[in-house]
Amino acid sequence: MARITRPSPTPNHSPRKASGLADVPERIAVVGGGAWGTALAISAARAGRSTTLWVREADLAQRMRTTRENDVFLPGHRLPPHVTVHEALGDAVRGADAALLVVPSQHLRATCKALARVAPKKLPLVICAKGIEHTSGLLMAQVVEQCLPDHPLAVLSGPTFASEVAQGQPTAVTLASEDAASDQEHSLAARLAAALGTPTFRPYVTDDLRGVEVGGAVKNVLAIASGIAQGLGFGANARAALITRGLEEVRQLTLALGGRSDTVYGLAGLGDLSLTCSSEQSRNMRFGMGLAAGRSELDIFDGRPVVVEGRDNVVPVTDLARRLEVEMPICEAVRAVVAEGAPIGDVMVQLLSRPFRAEARGLSLQIAQPDQPVEMRL
């Protein structure tokens, strides 16, 4: 395995200037000790940051302090010495310069409410969860703004399987903060990039929070579709079509919400969508494959407590699209299977029987529906 090492990153506690940039956050708190939080803590420590990790499960936190491994959510990866594990949220964020929020999307609000009681004033917050809140239909940044209104906000997203990041495999991410437009190198996103970036964890900065968030929320739903397609035995052509047409669904929703096309074609859009739709490392994709094979949810992950954001987000994603009158046929098909119990075969036939249409934007062709029966052995 190729591995690039960085010239001896030594953590220190004094503010650092990087390449003439403003002070970068030195002490990073990671809120959420699942696979992604653990990988981000390892990566932040590798970047030389002094890192705390909040692990909700007290027994796991205790074990991690001894064994230096998260044997539940990210087994096989050692925590560097500069990562301190806490089960009390207040201890994890005390003295932090920035906090990465890495709990599953549907638990973010409750976690933020708890954080509001203990977080230092104006602590910069970095959303690393991908999704839309079920009860409110809000994106993660909107949820955080409601619970912690006075805290500067950034979003970190992109094609990032946790275990590869923990291994130090080359990875690129998008870091978004609104001030990146006006105050580029002093922006929160730029300062976080300087704090968290390494030769193998390469942040790209943008000001388009909305676009970054939509890409992350929708790709998980599309990855379930990709898993279903793979599970049904469809080939590489189908996957390429699904990724391309899925990206168009991401684009339409992004634009409807005020995000930008360049974000859709960036790491948090096309990058994450293509990763998650083509690798069985993806839990969402494995979930879809399991559904196609007729397996139960528990059986798909051998009874382990695994987050499948696409399953938890398919209804809020499609509800939002319906409200904004954005057509998302692939996401709707996943909703029919996952949330409404429709038989996969019927949903697939419906999807393949949709009318042919224009690909070029601006053309509004009316073409007849396919009139042959869909011939598939499902």
Ligand X SMILES: O=C(CO)COP(=O)(O)O
- Residues marked active site are found at 219
3-state secondary structure of 121: coil
Q: Tell me whether residue 93 or residue 173 sits nearer to ligand X (CB atom).
A: 173
The C-alpha atoms of residue 298 and residue 296 are separated, in whole angstroms, by 6
Indicate whether 275 belongs to the interface with ligand X (CB under 6 A): yes
Indicate whether 104 belongs to the interface with ligand NAI (CB under 6 A): yes
Q: Tell me whether residue 98 or residue 285 sits nearer to ligand X (CB atom).
A: 285
- Sorted by sequence, the CB contacts under 8 Å of residue 35 that are 6+ apart come out as 70, 73, 74, 162, 163
Pick out the residues of the known binding site for NADPH: 36, 56, 130, 162, 283, 307, 309
Indicate whether 201 belongs to the interface with ligand NAI (CB under 6 A): no
From ligand X, ligand NAI, none, interface partner of 32 (C-beta below 5 to 8 A by class): ligand NAI
Of 282, 291, 300, 338, the one binding ligand X by CB under 6 A: 282
Of 73, 232, 249, 251, the one binding ligand NAI by CB under 6 A: 73
Indicate whether 130 belongs to the interface with ligand NAI (CB under 6 A): yes
Indicate whether 34 belongs to the interface with ligand NAI (CB under 6 A): yes
The C-alpha atoms of residue 289 and residue 295 are separated, in whole angstroms, by 9
Report which of 46, 43, 91 is spatially closest to residue 65, judged by C-alpha positions. Answer: 91
Of 31, 161, 192, 315, the one binding ligand X by CB under 6 A: 161
Q: Which two tokens stand for residue 315?
A: 């209804």
Indicate whether 276 belongs to the interface with ligand NAI (CB under 6 A): no
φ, ψ (nearest 5 deg) of residue 251: -60, -45
Contact region for ligand NAI (CB under 6 A) — 30-38, 145-153, 186-194, 195-203?
30-38
From ligand X, ligand NAI, none, interface partner of 282 (C-beta below 5 to 8 A by class): ligand X
Shortest-Cβ-distance residue relative to ligand NAI: 34
Of 155, 223, 277, 328, the one binding ligand X by CB under 6 A: 223
Query: Rg of the chain over CA atoms, in angstroms?
Result: 21
Indicate whether 159 belongs to the interface with ligand X (CB under 6 A): yes
The C-alpha atoms of residue 80 and residue 286 are separated, in whole angstroms, by 30
Contact status, residue 243 vs residue 272, Cβ threshold 8 Å: no
One DSSP character per residue, 159-204 reads S--HHHHHHT--EEEEEE-GGGTTSGGGSHHHHHHHHH-BTTEEEE
Q: Cα angle vertex 237, ends 244, 367, to 5°?
A: 65
φ, ψ (nearest 5 deg) of residue 20: 75, 5
Of 87, 207, 213, 272, the one binding ligand X by CB under 6 A: 272
Pick out the residues of the known binding site: 36, 56, 130, 158, 160, 162, 219, 272, 282-284, 307, 309
Of 87, 178, 249, 309, the one binding ligand NAI by CB under 6 A: 309
Of 82, 86, 109, 283, the one binding ligand X by CB under 6 A: 283
State in Å, rounded, how far the first CA of the chain is from the last one. Answer: 39
The C-alpha atoms of residue 92 and residue 29 are separated, in whole angstroms, by 6
From ligand X, ligand NAI, none, interface partner of 104 (C-beta below 5 to 8 A by class): ligand NAI
Q: From the CB of 43, what's the least distance to ligand X, in Å?
A: 14
Burial class (CB in 10 A: 0-12, 13-18, 19+), 66: exposed
Indicate whether 87 belongs to the interface with ligand NAI (CB under 6 A): no
Residue type, 263: T
Contact region for ligand X (CB under 6 A) — 81-89, 281-289, 318-326, 330-338?
281-289
Contact region for ligand X (CB under 6 A) — 40-48, 225-233, 259-267, 272-280?
272-280
The C-alpha atoms of residue 174 and residue 257 are separated, in whole angstroms, by 19
Which single residue is written with the structure tokens 């591995």?
3
Residues forming contacts to ligand X in the complex (CB under 6 A) are 130, 159-161, 220, 223, 272, 275-276, 282-284, 309
Judged by the rule CB under 6 A, the positions of this chain that interact with ligand NAI are 32-37, 56-57, 73, 102-105, 107, 110-111, 128-131, 160-162, 306-307, 309
